[in-house]
Structure 1
């Protein structure tokens, strides 16, 4: 009896102590209900962990750095770990010492285990496939770390990191890919990757494992597989209905009996976005579509992950849902009429619940923030604070730095030695009422930018396709469009849009259906324009089979012939590795010949991709070769969606768009297909162009190309498939990976955030380290262009001429060509073939040596471009390269064979000093850029 009384007393004291600690913790929080804790890192994931009974915040940054932070805001420790992103984080006490171990599923294929001081205890790695999910479950009170990733297996590890069991998904998976077998691979059936691994706590104290298995990152819901601990096969499988892909899965306790239920949140656009509640006993699935809340202003567009928790406000429990910049409070019945929607100015990367303290923790703003935000739902002021939240730290710095540039641009005058600016065509800008006067002034007084009318046509042409001559494309339709207009009605729609504008841009077709508007009607549109600009946009042209060749021969090329000399453009907005693979197939040879140089404009829709440094070098290589006269760029919400299963792609402050477009335009891009997010913010780009602060170079003015270029022959078909077949998650094959080295590797859907191989072009040439969001690559030895072959066996004579004829005169005698098919390197005569994992050393060394032939090079985490603006002037553009993880950067400029008179920031007026070793150190503020004028002592000519 005494023992029982003693035990109860201890339990009561612990309960009181925990409660008092929670209350003291809340005393550390802000009085307005939201506490913002600055970390200096862009935090991607947040959790809570325990140490000696108290709770602290655990964070993983964009770079993969792990931080422990107290609720008072003190950083307790940090560990840079591998330097690559962590896909999942789990905190649990494995050793029964009262403190949690920190477990991390890393993109380098490793599970890392840290102690409560941030020190590495152990690591586990089976292969190079990224680890994606993990949790801890117990059997007979013994803890097991369960982990899995893109190798299609799950692993049980002991508390010491020893492999206990390996279970391949092929033993039990019911997942099946879809589609017809053709020139694109389809993965094997009855395999999956573990999208989530989570613990289920049963009422009797036992624990089960929940595996969410998927085969595609974009188009499937997958299944829940429920396992008893250590069993090879699931005890239950729940096939999920619509709503996928899913980017969040949580096990919560609900109802009076605290029964476990699964909450899934979709990853994607609002059309298919849902909260899905799954009853584990009945398998019943209840969905709340986010589109039903659109009238409550959750926002109609953007790519978001729905994250939902159970929370209490001190009086009752409810569902707390984070959806981009919206928080949605829901009743147990998911009653949309009673839903309360709160909107902030910013979206956040992650959400977690501190169970012990009843707090919600948010990761940093998706726009590159650096705070952790803690919400106390029992504080009545938190809702108002959320609506007004402007995060301190990097977000405030970005806004402040942007405002400084705006003030500087207002006073800027273009140097009188510069030529007249080249026009930049803004094809799809939304002009809000507050910006109408600004645009009117630009149109009246400036040559650039040129605002075209971007037309959205939900209704398109219905025409007789029986004359088309190809059954496949005769039947093709785009489900998003209504085929109801006659040719005359299309003209009636377009005619008024041409009236008070310099031109129009519209979708002429799409990969789903290239014939949205017929050839005959498109010719009529050009005639109607009568010399005004017409840009016909063609997104997602991925096909390269015999049927698409028919489309090129009977639609695109005849249209290009008609467009020549008429201010009309075919804007080819493709995806993936198109501009280094498909474009070099014979069916596109007429474009590559330069026959239609004034018509075709290469552009990209870089969604789902992880190889932006390649598409940049490829588009610019096509342009530099003379095949086309112009190139284009696009910014859209889902540019950040390199991993479609986790689409935290709802950046509300489009600083990443601003910097990317400045980089592209400073590299000569003239056709911009931008998606509107915050036009007040983006109008700075318009001002930079209009005032001439942003210099738009001709290709023969650019001096930041490496003398070394890589030329593409007909691409290897395996490489082509790897680079374009990117949505399936189950292509990993360890034997194949170990025995096949590629020049461009790890491009398919199994490598989000993964390290690059040592021999990958993206590493040794572009300076990238991972397959992620490298929109502004460093190319510190000069941008290595990916071009058509210039000489030898694989060269084809064409109208476009030689690469050297289109570049700055300094390149005339210093260009060095290497040839590849994406898999191997080849000698110019075709007699020798070199392995990618060996021969790269020769090219890497040549790139480094050739850098000294350029007037200057730049190192540091910055993107850079240099162009000659006059005989004695160079313009150096420097940009913070962190796409969604901006920060203060330092550029080290090394001058080679030129004598410098002075170096000056054209906006701030700051004079920049040069050290004795001919280098200059230039600071680039967080989320910013600098335009540097370099005045030379002597004129720059071909021999200098």
Structure 2
């Protein structure tokens, strides 16, 4: 039975990665493609409808109307932002046009042949459609270079229309550290067309300059015109994530890409520009509240009872013409979906894959009322089903697992924000009875803060700051009492003590009194979004954070710095953070991240790990939240209901030493598997001097370059692209601002040559095939601090690194000499570092290839623990990890949960299958210790 279970476990992922037979029910048909489908459309071929899908990695594939696979074209391996299907050659077969994040528009035939490609520059293409002038077709495309292009049916450029010649966009704000872009620029968020009754067409342009906060403007153009015939500002809903023109051309429907509180559909009349809106919040508890979703609207084609069909995460909302909530119907599924296309001709809805890494395309037959029940009961076959089954098998094997006798006692992992569901309390009780870890800290989220006199604070900016989500009503004593009351158990508590919007939510005096009242119980003070790098924040550090850290020392209290963007490879190297960086408060500060809107997760793991490994802090932390997946705020398909991506991210981070976990609960029953892995010791939590999967090459940060700081933190404005400027400034860490969602990284970018990723998207699980390249404080030269309390990097690492460390230097923009006097261009010097990394890999005990995230740690003199994780964050796939042994001499290699033993006859390449959406824990027994014991 044991061997049978392991065979089933490995076979689940393989089966789900292949095309499978369609599954039909009365109201829904599910076609498993083996790929994570992010876009769906319908094309016509020989007078027959075919289904077109775009995969997570940019492949275009076609299915027959009954779900049979026809063809697949991989294209560039980079995501497609938009797909349009229409006949542009006059042969009565559609062409398929894909607006790709690599800057191309690709044109394919309905046989899958690439006909042509167009690229103006490197900026991602974002939208594409076809428009006719006097029956002559033109492809219209645009994206993040702020232009619109007209192309011939053969792909030749006919016209370029710059948004600066007509746009009314007006940026706001005056923050010098996040400067607004120039006026009168917008990117082409959507390009669609109105087909009038006489057959003439009008181009619809939705222009946007900020993916999260801009409502945008609708411009209507005659084909090939220089100026719009009408310009209409959208008056409801910030962040437009979908735009659909009704088949009769009378309405433009705009759906938001936003938080649930702000989600809406706006209906714009094309004759008089009148607008009316339907807010999803009007449905109250009928729809999910918290979360980030795209409202995808369509005209409901079946009857007159409802006017509109909305896909909203995991829910379908049927809305009447009068937009009254009382007359709506809401139908809920367990899973959310990546995209929707209304096939009016056939009265069906096509759904892309489930957002949690699904692999199906689903067809809803709107003429069959049973679609509503089938939708409610849908559990997608393919990848979703495979993940659910494999997860349950891992849980069962974990419960049967016993920690090897050679491993030390586990380190504590603090779960900081788990409000345990009553149904899971028996499991928590059992964990607490039998294991010292994980530790469930008491937690409470307040809607109130302390009201205190800030007139003498000494800083005008922060004296005026408030968090608008809170009411400032508490007296100092009420604040002390409220925070003290959180400590319900002996384990301690975690709570927000402030925020980047207002670090002074509670005074220093109040927090000191609460720390005293805790009397040695674990206290974690959470400070989200500390990203300000102005002199005003330097004041806050000296006035509030450093005195608080000093007071917290020796009192079992931590300050959880939950920041954003490039903080741990940027801001922290500014002079104001020197006391944290020195290790003076190593036992207090915990580096963590809130990685939303960001596109450089492979950098932050190198940054946080480098801070920890250097000795600047003694711990590090991690967080999962709904909008982890919101790398593109204009398309927030961020309502994953199966948090398998969270599970794998936590396995990776905890196996890399993270001990402070601040997770948003999505499906706590599913995530409780993580609790069991920790409690049983199956998930090994290493000390920094046990890890042997760091590259000997590390990149030391000097004070960050000003331009790099601006680029890496200004992630919401999306009209910054300047081709000439980009050509003149190759950067070590590049393409980080809001103009690059999904774009390929440059050849010289650290993310490519060190981390092994190819795009600016969601690389939470980077492969780092030659070992994790740490980003660290300088160790040599005048910028090093040899007297810092943290000590030297080599003294904090495993002894194998004593004589093999190799340091390079950067300011984020260019490479530097150790003294900083010389600089080296990023697009040339990278070759030196890339070569060093590859050579240094041979000095490690082992390395791993095969698109998996991995960590290796020494658990005893003759044992290593190797953790392997499927690296597809929301695009899981079965992986073939290949373990390459270098300095280690393996005697035995065994999966600790399933008992699989691996053939070591060729230790240079040992293959370990990793099922999709899963991970494996491998014990490696050595012939001899890595380092001779004293």
Output the TM-score relative to the length of structure 2. Answer: 0.97
Look up the match of 1:385: 374
1:416 to 405, 421, 428: 405
3-state DSSP class of the match of 2:338?
coil
Look up the match of 2:215: 221
**Pairwise CA distance, 1:360:** 0.3
**Pairwise CA distance, 1:184:** 2.6
Spell out, residue by residue over 1:242-276, the C-alpha distance to the aligned partner (whole angstroms, 9 max, x if none). Answer: 302010000013xxxx4521001000111111011
**Pairwise CA distance, 1:500:** 2.0
CA distance in 2 between counterparts of 1:214 and 1:30 reads: 41
3-state DSSP class of the match of 2:794?
helix
1:726 to 705, 709, 715: 715
- From the superposition, tell whether residues 31 and 451 of structure 1 become closer, same or farther in structure 2 (CA, over 3 Å): closer
**Pairwise CA distance, 1:768:** 0.6
Look up the match of 1:566: 555
**Pairwise CA distance, 1:640:** 0.2
CA distance in 1 between counterparts of 2:624 and 2:304 reads: 45
CA distance in 1 between counterparts of 2:866 and 2:750 reads: 25
Look up the match of 1:480: 469
**Are 1:583 and 2:572 matched, yes or no?**
yes
**Pairwise CA distance, 1:366:** 0.0
CA distance in 1 between counterparts of 2:269 and 2:238 reads: 17
**Are 1:652 and 2:641 matched, yes or no?**
yes
**Are 1:696 and 2:685 matched, yes or no?**
yes
Look up the match of 1:289: 279
Look up the match of 2:385: 396
**Pairwise CA distance, 1:428:** 0.2
Look up the match of 1:198: 192
CA distance in 2 between counterparts of 1:805 and 1:648 reads: 44
Q: Is the 8 A contact 1:29 1:71 kept in 2?
A: no
CA distance in 2 between counterparts of 1:932 and 1:872 reads: 14
CA distance in 1 between counterparts of 2:866 and 2:824 reads: 37
Look up the match of 2:737: 748
1:520 to 509, 523, 544: 509
3-state DSSP class of the match of 1:474?
helix
Spell out, residue by residue over 1:546-568, the C-alpha distance to the aligned partner (whole angstroms, 9 max, x if none). Answer: 11111000000000000001010
3-state DSSP class of the match of 2:232?
strand
CA distance in 1 between counterparts of 2:933 and 2:711 reads: 42
Spell out, residue by residue over 1:178-198, the C-alpha distance to the aligned partner (whole angstroms, 9 max, x if none). Answer: 001523322000110010000
Q: Is the 8 A contact 2:528 2:563 kept in 1?
A: yes
1:711 to 688, 692, 700: 700
CA distance in 2 between counterparts of 1:830 and 1:301 reads: 47
3-state DSSP class of the match of 1:347?
coil
- From the superposition, tell whether residues 942 and 309 of structure 1 become closer, same or farther in structure 2 (CA, over 3 Å): farther
Look up the match of 1:735: 724
CA distance in 1 between counterparts of 2:383 and 2:23 reads: 21
Q: Is the 8 A contact 2:45 2:93 kept in 1?
A: yes
Q: Is the 8 A contact 1:810 1:943 kept in 2?
A: no
**Pairwise CA distance, 1:438:** 1.0
1:61 to 50, 55, 60: 55
Look up the match of 1:638: 627
Look up the match of 1:902: 892
CA distance in 2 between counterparts of 1:118 and 1:819 reads: 47
Runs of 4+ in 1 over 4 A off after TM superposition: 314-317
Look up the match of 2:76: 82
Tell me, which stretches of 5 or more residues in structure 2 are unaligned? 1-21
Aligned length: 912
**Pairwise CA distance, 1:353:** 1.1
**Pairwise CA distance, 1:935:** 0.4
2:395 to 397, 406, 414: 406
**Pairwise CA distance, 1:537:** 0.6
**Pairwise CA distance, 1:454:** 1.7
**Are 1:614 and 2:603 matched, yes or no?**
yes
1:143 to 111, 123, 137: 137
User: Which deviates the most, 316-325 or 339-348?
Assistant: 316-325
3-state DSSP class of the match of 1:935?
strand
**Are 1:104 and 2:93 matched, yes or no?**
no
3-state DSSP class of the match of 1:689?
helix
Q: Is the 8 A contact 1:172 1:234 kept in 2?
A: yes
Look up the match of 2:426: 437
**Are 1:927 and 2:910 matched, yes or no?**
no
CA distance in 1 between counterparts of 2:277 and 2:133 reads: 33
**Pairwise CA distance, 1:801:** 1.1
**Are 1:47 and 2:41 matched, yes or no?**
yes
Look up the match of 1:872: 862
Q: Is the 8 A contact 2:133 2:200 kept in 1?
A: yes
User: Which deviates the most, 219-228 or 312-321?
Assistant: 312-321
Q: Is the 8 A contact 1:656 1:883 kept in 2?
A: yes
Spell out, residue by residue over 1:731-773, the C-alpha distance to the aligned partner (whole angstroms, 9 max, x if none). Answer: 0001001111100100000000001100000000000100000
**Are 1:251 and 2:240 matched, yes or no?**
no
Residues 291-370 of structure 1 aligned to structure 2 (within 5 Å): 291-296=281-286, 298-313=287-302, 318-370=307-359
**Are 1:33 and 2:30 matched, yes or no?**
no
1:552 to 519, 541, 546: 541
**Are 1:764 and 2:753 matched, yes or no?**
yes
Look up the match of 1:212: 206
CA distance in 1 between counterparts of 2:711 and 2:897 reads: 44
**Are 1:156 and 2:145 matched, yes or no?**
no
**Are 1:863 and 2:853 matched, yes or no?**
yes
User: Which deviates the most, 183-192 or 668-677?
Assistant: 183-192
- From the superposition, tell whether residues 120 and 943 of structure 1 become closer, same or farther in structure 2 (CA, over 3 Å): farther
CA distance in 1 between counterparts of 2:144 and 2:657 reads: 39
Spell out, residue by residue over 1:832-863, the C-alpha distance to the aligned partner (whole angstroms, 9 max, x if none). Answer: 21110000000000000000000000001100
Look up the match of 1:271: 261
User: Which deviates the most, 665-674 or 543-552?
Assistant: 543-552
CA distance in 2 between counterparts of 1:259 and 1:152 reads: 26
Q: Is the 8 A contact 1:809 1:942 kept in 2?
A: no
Tell me, which stretches of 5 or more residues in structure 1 are unaligned? 1-27
3-state DSSP class of the match of 2:711?
helix
Q: Is the 8 A contact 1:706 1:783 kept in 2?
A: yes
CA distance in 1 between counterparts of 2:40 and 2:95 reads: 15
1:169 to 163, 171, 181: 163
3-state DSSP class of the match of 1:700?
helix
**Pairwise CA distance, 1:310:** 1.2
Look up the match of 1:776: 765
**Pairwise CA distance, 1:917:** 5.1
CA distance in 1 between counterparts of 2:299 and 2:828 reads: 54
3-state DSSP class of the match of 1:465?
coil
CA distance in 2 between counterparts of 1:583 and 1:31 reads: 56
1:506 to 490, 495, 500: 495
**Pairwise CA distance, 1:315:** 6.7
Spell out, residue by residue over 1:565-589, the C-alpha distance to the aligned partner (whole angstroms, 9 max, x if none). Answer: 1010110000000111110000000
CA distance in 2 between counterparts of 1:481 and 1:823 reads: 39
Q: Is the 8 A contact 2:631 2:762 kept in 1?
A: yes
**Are 1:788 and 2:777 matched, yes or no?**
yes
Look up the match of 2:928: 938
**Pairwise CA distance, 1:314:** 5.5
CA distance in 2 between counterparts of 1:942 and 1:334 reads: 75
Spell out, residue by residue over 1:400-452, the C-alpha distance to the aligned partner (whole angstroms, 9 max, x if none). Answer: 11011011011000001100000000000120011101111222321100000
**Pairwise CA distance, 1:795:** 1.5
**Pairwise CA distance, 1:942:** 6.3
CA distance in 1 between counterparts of 2:72 and 2:467 reads: 50
**Pairwise CA distance, 1:29:** 8.5
Q: Is the 8 A contact 1:430 1:679 kept in 2?
A: no
Q: Is the 8 A contact 1:453 1:501 kept in 2?
A: no
Q: Is the 8 A contact 1:314 1:378 kept in 2?
A: no
**Are 1:918 and 2:908 matched, yes or no?**
yes
CA distance in 1 between counterparts of 2:249 and 2:860 reads: 73
Q: Is the 8 A contact 2:95 2:107 kept in 1?
A: yes
Look up the match of 1:21: none
Look up the match of 1:20: none
Output the TM-score relative to the length of structure 1. Answer: 0.96
